[in-house]
Amino acid sequence: MRLEKCWFCSSTVYPGHGIQFVRNDAKVFRFCRSKCHKNFKMKRNPRKVKWTKAYRRLHGKDMTQDSTFEFERKRNRPERYDRNLTENTLKAIKTIDKVRSRREAKHIENRKKGKKAQERREARNELDQSISMIKAPSVLKEDPSLTLPKIKVKVSQPQAEEPMEE
Amino acid sequence: MGTKLKVVDNSGAKLVKCIQALNATKKGAKLGDTIVASVKEAHPNGKVKKGKVVYGVVVRAAMPRGRCDGSVVKFDDNAVVLVDKQGQPIGTRVFGPVPHELRKKKHVKILTLAEHIA
C-alpha cells in the first residue's frame, strides 16, 4: 500500500480516500478529496490556485530546497523486513520531522524580516504626501502650530554684495 | 442498457450498443462486467459485421467504481472489448488503459493484450 500525492494540492492521499481518474493516454490523476477533483474538472491550474502546494512553492511561500525532503521519495524496490532497520527508521522519522519543522519556521521568519521596516516607510510616505486630506494646505499656512516648527538654517550665500549695475 | 460503447480492439467493430448486461444486479453493467451488444458501426473488412449480436467486456467506464482497497477509479470514456461466449477476445490487440480488476473477473487474456494497466 502506498501513500500517493494528490495531483492538485500535493497533499498525501491515504488509502481509501479520494478518487483517481485514468485518462485515455493511461495517465493517472489522483485526488485527495472532491474539492481537488472538482477543481481539476474546472480545468484550473494548480499553480494559479493560491491554496495549493504548487502555488506556494512557486511563489516562495514555502521552503522548497532542503535535505530533509530527500527522505520522502518514491521507491519501487520492496525492502526486505528487518526489525532493526524498522526501529531505526521509526526513530529517524521523528528526528527528521523535528528538523524540518524547525527549518520551515526559520524560513517563515526570514520571509517576514523586511516587513516591519517596509510598513514604517510606507506610513511615513503616506503622512508626507496626503496630510492635505485631513487639513487643507491654506489652513496649514495660517496656523503654524499645525505644521512642524520651522528650523532656521544658516545659508552661506553672497547677499547682494555688489549693487546692481545700470 | 442502450449505452453506446466504443470498441477498443481490432475485431472490426467500431461502436456497439448494449442490449443486455450479464450480471446479477439489475442496474446495468459496470466496469469489468460482460454485456451483450449489437454492432452499430463496423470497419468494412473486419471480423465482426454490422448488425451482429456480440459479447463484450466493459474495460473502461466513466462511472466511478470502487476498488478493493477503498479508493475509486473512473475513466475518460465507455469502452468495450469484444469476446466470444467462452470469454476469449475476438481481436488480437487492445488499445488504451484497462483496469486490473479484469484479473478477478478471469479476463487475463485481455490484460496480457493491453497496452497499459491502471
Q: How far is A22 from chain B (nearest CA, A)?
A: 5
Please name the residue of chain B whose CA is at the shortest distance from the CA of residue A22.
B75
Place A162 in a pLDDT band, splitting at 50, 70 and 90: low
Which helix (DSSP H) or strand (DSSP E) does residue B6 occupy?
A: strand B4-7
Is the predicted pLDDT of residue A10 greater than 60, yes or no?
A: yes
What residue numbers bound the domain in which A116 lies? 83-130
Which helix (DSSP H) or strand (DSSP E) does residue A31 occupy?
A: strand A28-31
Query: What residue type is assigned to position A124 of the chain?
Result: R
* B-chain residues near A22 (CB < 8 A): 60, 73-76, 97, 99, 118
Question: B3-117 domain in CATH 2.40.150.20?
Answer: yes
Residue A151 located in a structural domain: no
Stretch A44-56: mean pLDDT, rounded?
A: 94
- Judged by CB atoms closer than 8 Å, whether chains meet at B73 and A20 is answered as yes
Is the predicted pLDDT of residue A161 greater than 70, yes or no?
A: no
Domains: count for chain A: 2
- Judged by CB atoms closer than 8 Å, whether chains meet at B69 and A16 is answered as yes
Residue A37 located in a structural domain: yes
Residue B33 Cα distances to A19, A33, A65, B59, B96, angstroms: 21, 27, 48, 8, 18
Do A54 and A9 share a domain, yes or no?
yes
As beta bridge partners, residue B103 has none
Give the pairing type, strands B13-21 and B4-7: antiparallel
B6, B59, B65, B73, best to mutate vs chain A, most A CBs in 10 Å: B73
* B-chain residues near A16 (CB < 8 A): 69-71
For residue A146, the model assigns a pLDDT of 63
**Start-to-end CA span in chain B (Å):** 25
Residue A35 located in a structural domain: yes
Query: Can you tell me which residue has the cell 493484450?
Result: B113
> 3-state class of B35 per DSSP?
strand
Stretch B8-32: mean pLDDT, rounded?
A: 89
Stretch B110-114: mean pLDDT, rounded?
A: 92
Closest CA to B92 of B107, B114, B59, B77: B114
Residues 6+ apart with CB under 8 A from B4: B15, B16, B17, B18, B40, B78
Is the predicted pLDDT of residue A164 greater than 70, yes or no?
A: no
Is the predicted pLDDT of residue B103 greater than 60, yes or no?
A: yes
Stretch B3-28: mean pLDDT, rounded?
A: 90
Lowest mean pLDDT among A80-94, A113-127, B86-100: A113-127
Residues 6+ apart with CB under 8 A from A22: A28, A29, B60, B73, B74, B75, B76, B97, B99, B118
Please name the residue of chain A whose CA is at the shortest distance from the CA of residue B62.
A21
Number of residues that this document lists for chain A: 166
Give the CB-side neighbour count of residue B115, counting CA atoms within 13 A.
11
Q: How far is A94 from chain B (nearest CA, A)?
A: 28
B40-89: pLDDT as tens digits:
999 999 999 999 999 999 999 999 999 888 889 999 999 999 999 998 99
For residue A13, the model assigns a pLDDT of 93
Distance CA A4, CA B6 (A): 31
A29 in reach of chain B (CB within 8 A): no
As beta bridge partners, residue B89 has B83
Distance CA A7, CA A43 (A): 13
For residue B52, the model assigns a pLDDT of 93
Quote the cell numbers at residue A82.
Answer: 528487518
Is the predicted pLDDT of residue B23 greater than 90, yes or no?
A: no
Residue A99 located in a structural domain: yes
A21 in reach of chain B (CB within 8 A): yes
Residue A152 located in a structural domain: no
For residue A157, the model assigns a pLDDT of 72
Percentage of chain A with pLDDT > 70?
Answer: 90
Place A130 in a pLDDT band, splitting at 50, 70 and 90: confident
Do A3 and A50 share a domain, yes or no?
yes
Domain locations in chain B as residue ranges: 3-117
A138-148: pLDDT as tens digits:
777 777 666 66
For residue A137, the model assigns a pLDDT of 74
For residue B74, the model assigns a pLDDT of 94
Closest CA to A9 of A50, A43, A41: A50
Query: What CATH number does the domain containing A29 carry?
Result: 2.30.170.20
